[in-house]
């Protein structure tokens, strides 16, 4: 009987219970004579220790000692420091597993600070500062109840263990101490938030509970006209893994929709804070992420930022666009990806971002009076097609909106031809305006369907982006007239009649812009507009006032000229749209020219003529600059840019 007991532990013996790992596995525990571990622990390769504290500690110490020796023998002396760290970590983890499984004082004890293994830190027990949970001692009143539950969970496989018991070295000295896991940080505070994520969190708190409405409005109004995001993938990621989306991108998206949502959703308008405050937060998030982690997402964020309304900073937008173009070149967005071995969705997304960047760069260049940053010879991305923009199951209306964007990209290419000549510092004596007229006429002749009716007839303006396309085309016509006028003035043999004829052509283009603006309805005013389009109006009024000054000298006669009357109607129309619909596209024009028009009208009144004011007007409009208007400095005092 004694020999048999020495060879194998009797099964279900209360004198020698099963080891703790077998109890958790609910497996039969059998040991062999003089064996340091049972058969099941040998099979699983796990540490074998029994409820008896003496045997448990002895088994753990011998096992750790053997593993530590094997570990040291496999490593070289050059990795001594790294090996020490790894051994300490492994010992701490095994010690924690042993403590987690200890059910009660009577069956367990743990020795800390033993010289045979690495001791835990004084503030250990999983309470590292970078962890979300902390340990809190359980009061004596509930310790016994919690101990019973802990004892039960120790034998349940994969059971959650929210408590940890620390038993004394000597079982008769003191009672075991029970700890439970509690939340360390206040609810809602991230462990290591980035600066851009902090700004985004503030914006979202200000806009709740309208975030879903804002996202829907963005894809309904903006992304169809400027498709920088793939709606399907964005919505999936926004719902499932929102934390993976760039905080700067989301912040600029929310800020971009301030103008659209406040004018078209009165209920949201009452809940929203000041749009300037939201834009300031979005700018801080953007610049922070641009500095820390620039990538494709930051290009999209910049496009939303620069395309935001109203525009208040020329220099800031220029800096952001230059950064976006530089990053795009470094990421290869200027190259044709159709033959690359990448997913089709990624190909189309890269091309969309480049097209929108191309459009923003050219029209911003015209509006700000600075050379464009993208050169045609440095990119080979093909022009957009319906296949690149629409899914096979898209609707007829989506196809029409896509054709409008395709036409806008084509018109932007025509504008690029003009910009190359405008900003060329070399003198070309044999240069002809036909080089600009021909591409524009060729583009108009190539249009078909909806884009043709929008451009030629001015119809179908209720479609998303249609009004913007019409305005950009009319501004392109006026630009061509200005270029022709400047070219004619440089020719000595041109008569005054020839120059006046070009003036009249430009005034007709201005009349078309005025008629288009006067006929805009609420739906069109609250639709998509390129932010650079706001500079069409000050440029047009500037041209009209210049024409009026060059044809009439007296204040009373100036106020009666047809060009001045057109300029006055522009100011009145933009004021009306601002008051009734909150339309901000005329803010730049009103800031620059409303006071001038009012002064001319006041000076034209009987017995109220001031020659000083007339000299000021001639100083302002008597120059030959035909692209870059002279802006009033007060408009750009605000340092924010969007």
Q: What is the pLDDT of residue 382?
A: 95
* Average per-residue pLDDT for the chain: 76
Q: What pLDDT does 170 receive?
A: 52
Tell me the pLDDT band of 411, cut-offs 50, 70 and 90.
very high
- With a pLDDT cut of 90, the percent of the chain lying above it is 42
Residue 583 token pair: 């339309």
Instruction: Tell me what pLDDT residue 633 has.
Output: 30
Whole-angstrom Cα distance, residue 534 to residue 471?
A: 10
Instruction: Quote the tokens at residue 398.
Output: 């989506």
CA distance 133 to 131: 6
If DSSP codes are grouped into helix, strand and coil, which group holds residue 381? Answer: coil
Q: What is the rounded distance in angstroms from the CA atom of residue 129 to the CA atom of residue 132?
A: 8
Question: 90-94, 184-188, 191-195, 544-548: lowest mean pLDDT where?
Answer: 90-94
Per-residue pLDDT at 290:
92
- Residue 131: its pLDDT value, please? 55
Residue scoring higher pLDDT (106 or 157):
157
Q: Strands 177-183 and 133-137, how do they pair?
A: antiparallel
Alpha-helix runs per DSSP H in 102-182: 140-153
**18 close to 29: Cβ distance less than 8 angstroms:** yes
Q: Give 596-621 pLDDT, tens digit per residue.
A: 888 888 876 655 544 444 445 544 44
Could you tell me which of 166, 99, 160 has the C-alpha nearest to residue 137? 166
- For the segment 421-442, the average pLDDT, to the nearest whole number, is 78
The predicted pLDDT at position 321 comes to 95
- pLDDT tens digits for range 248-265: 999 999 999 988 887 665
Averaged pLDDT for residues 571-579:
95
Could you tell me the two tokens for 373?
A: 């940053």
The string of pLDDT tens digits covering residues 521-544 is: 999 999 999 999 999 999 999 999
**Rounded to an integer, what distance in angstroms lies between the CA atom of residue 555 and that of residue 36?**
111
- Is the distance from CB of 401 to CB of 465 less than 8 angstroms? yes
Q: Are 179 and 138 in contact (CB under 8 A)?
A: yes
Read off the pLDDT band of 139 (50, 70, 90): low
* Helix, strand or coil, per DSSP, at residue 188: coil
Q: CA-to-CA distance for 631 and 311, rounded, in angstroms?
A: 13
Residues 6+ apart with CB under 8 A from 94: 47, 60, 64
* pLDDT at residue 266 is higher than 60: no
Tokens encoding 12: 């279900």
Q: Which phi and psi angles does 179 have, rounded to 5°?
A: -115, 150
Measure the CA–CA gap between 509 and 519, rounded to whole angstroms.
16
User: What is the band of 431 on the pLDDT scale with cuts at 50, 70, 90?
Assistant: low
pLDDT of 553: 62
Would you say residue 149 has pLDDT above 80?
no
> CA 415 from chain center: how many Å?
28
pLDDT the model gives residue 306: 94
Query: How many residues would you count in the chain?
Result: 642
389-426 in b/e burial notation, b at 16+ Cβ within 10 A? bbeeeeeeebebbbbbbbbbebbbbbbbebbeebeeee
Q: Which of 285, 211, 247, 282 is nearest to 642 (CA)?
A: 282
Tokens of 216: 């829907």
Which of 23-27, 340-344, 539-543 has the weakest average pLDDT? Answer: 23-27
| Integer Cα distance of 545 and 120 in angstroms | 82
Return the closest-CA partner of residue 627 out of 356, 372, 376, 431: 372
> Strands 133-137 and 163-166, how do they pair?
unpaired
Question: Which H, E and C letters describe 194-222, residue by residue?
Answer: CHHHHHHHHHHHHHCCCHHHHHHHHHHHH
Tell me which of 323 and 546 has the higher pLDDT.
323
The alpha carbon of residue 559 and the mean position of all alpha carbons in its chain are separated, in whole angstroms, by 49
Contact indicator for 155, 23 with CB cutoff of 8 Å: yes
| 496-527: pLDDT as tens digits | 778 888 888 999 999 999 999 999 999 999 99
Q: How far is 240 from 414, CA to CA, in rounded Å?
A: 42
Answer with the residue of higher pLDDT: 193 or 447. Answer: 447
CA–CA–CA angle 357, 224, 539 (5° rounding): 55
pLDDT tens for 387-401 read 999 988 889 999 999
For residue 453, give the DSSP letter: I
Q: How far apart are CA 631 and CA 629, in angstroms?
A: 6
Q: Which two tokens stand for residue 434?
A: 């036909």
Give the pLDDT band (50/70/90) at residue 558: confident
Please give the pLDDT value at position 625. 34
> With contact defined as beta carbons under 8 Å apart, do 629 and 538 qualify?
yes
If one compares 104 and 531, the residue with the highest pLDDT of the two is 531
**Cis peptide bond N-terminal to 576, omega within 30:** no
Q: What angle do CA 66, 72, 73 make, to 5 degrees?
A: 90
**pLDDT per residue as tens digits for the range 473-485:** 999 999 999 988 8
The model's pTM: 0.70
What are 31-68's pLDDT values in tens digits? 776 777 888 887 777 778 776 544 445 444 555 555 55
């Amino acid at each position: 009987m004694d020999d048999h007991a020495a060879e194998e532990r009797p099964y279900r013996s209360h004198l020698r219970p099963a080891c703790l790992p077998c109890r958790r596995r609910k497996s039969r525990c059998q040991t062999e004579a003089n064996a340091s571990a049972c058969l099941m622990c040998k099979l699983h390769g796990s540490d074998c220790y029994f409820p008896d504290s003496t045997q448990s500690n002895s088994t753990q110490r011998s096992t750790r000692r053997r593993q530590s020796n094997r570990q040291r023998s496999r490593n070289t002396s050059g990795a001594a420091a790294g090996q020490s760290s790894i051994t300490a970590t492994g010992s701490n983890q095994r010690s924690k597993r042993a403590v987690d499984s200890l059910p009660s004082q009577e069956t367990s004890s743990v020795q800390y600070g033993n010289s045979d293994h690495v001791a835990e830190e004084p503030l250990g027990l999983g309470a590292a500062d970078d962890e979300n949970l902390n340990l809190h001692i359980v009061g004596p009143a509930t310790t016994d109840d919690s101990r019973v539950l802990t004892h039960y969970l120790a034998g349940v496989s994969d059971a959650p263990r929210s408590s940890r018991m620390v038993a004394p070295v000597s079982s008769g000295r003191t009672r075991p101490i029970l700890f439970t896991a509690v939340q360390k940080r206040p609810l809602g505070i991230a462990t290591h938030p980035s600066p851009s994520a902090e700004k985004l969190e503030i914006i979202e708190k200000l806009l709740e509970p309208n975030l879903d409405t804002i996202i829907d409005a963005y894809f309904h109004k903006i992304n169809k006209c400027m498709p920088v995001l793939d709606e399907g993938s964005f919505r999936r990621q926004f719902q499932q893994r929102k934390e993976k989306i760039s905080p700067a991108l989301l912040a600029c998206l929310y800020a971009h929709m301030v103008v659209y949502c406040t004018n078209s959703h009165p209920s949201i308008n009452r809940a929203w804070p000041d749009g300037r405050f939201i834009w300031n937060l979005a700018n801080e998030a953007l610049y922070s992420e641009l500095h820390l982690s620039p990538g494709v997402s930051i290009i999209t964020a910049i496009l939303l930022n620069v395309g935001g309304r109203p525009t208040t900073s020329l220099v800031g937008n220029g800096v952001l666009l230059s950064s976006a173009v530089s990053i795009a070149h470094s990421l290869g967005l200027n190259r044709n990806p159709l033959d690359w071995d990448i997913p089709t969705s990624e190909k189309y997304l890269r091309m969309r971002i480049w097209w929108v960047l191309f459009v923003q760069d050219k029209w911003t260049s015209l509006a700000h009076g600075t050379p464009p940053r993208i050169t045609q010879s440095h990119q080979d991305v093909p022009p957009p097609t319906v296949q690149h923009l629409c899914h096979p199951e898209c609707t007829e209306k989506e196809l029409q909106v896509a054709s409008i964007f395709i036409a806008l990209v084509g018109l932007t290419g025509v504008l690029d031809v003009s910009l190359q000549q405008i900003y060329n510092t070399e003198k070309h004596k044999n240069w002809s305006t036909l080089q600009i007229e021909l591409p524009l006429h060729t583009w108009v002749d190539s249009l078909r369907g909806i884009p043709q009716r929008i451009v030629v007839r001015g119809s179908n303006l209720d479609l998303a982006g249609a009004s913007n396309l019409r305005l950009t085309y009319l501004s392109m016509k006026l630009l061509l007239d200005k270029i022709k006028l400047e070219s004619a003035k440089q020719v000595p043999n041109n008569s005054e009649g020839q120059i006046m004829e070009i003036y009249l052509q430009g005034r007709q283009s201005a009349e078309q812009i005025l008629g288009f603006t006067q006929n805009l309805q609420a739906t069109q005013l609250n639709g998509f507009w390129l932010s650079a389009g706001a500079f069409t109006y000050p440029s047009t009024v500037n041209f009209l006032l210049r024409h009026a000054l060059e044809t009439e000298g007296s204040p009373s006669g100036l106020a009666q000229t047809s060009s001045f009357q057109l300029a006055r109607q522009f100011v009145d129309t933009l004021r009306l749209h601002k008051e009734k619909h909150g339309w901000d596209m005329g803010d730049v024009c009103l800031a620059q020219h409303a006071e001038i028009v009012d002064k001319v009208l006041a000076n034209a009144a009987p017995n109220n003529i001031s020659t000083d004011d007339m000299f000021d007007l001639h100083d302002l409009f008597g120059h030959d600059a035909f692209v870059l208007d002279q802006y009033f400095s007060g408009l750009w005092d605000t340092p924010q840019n969007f």
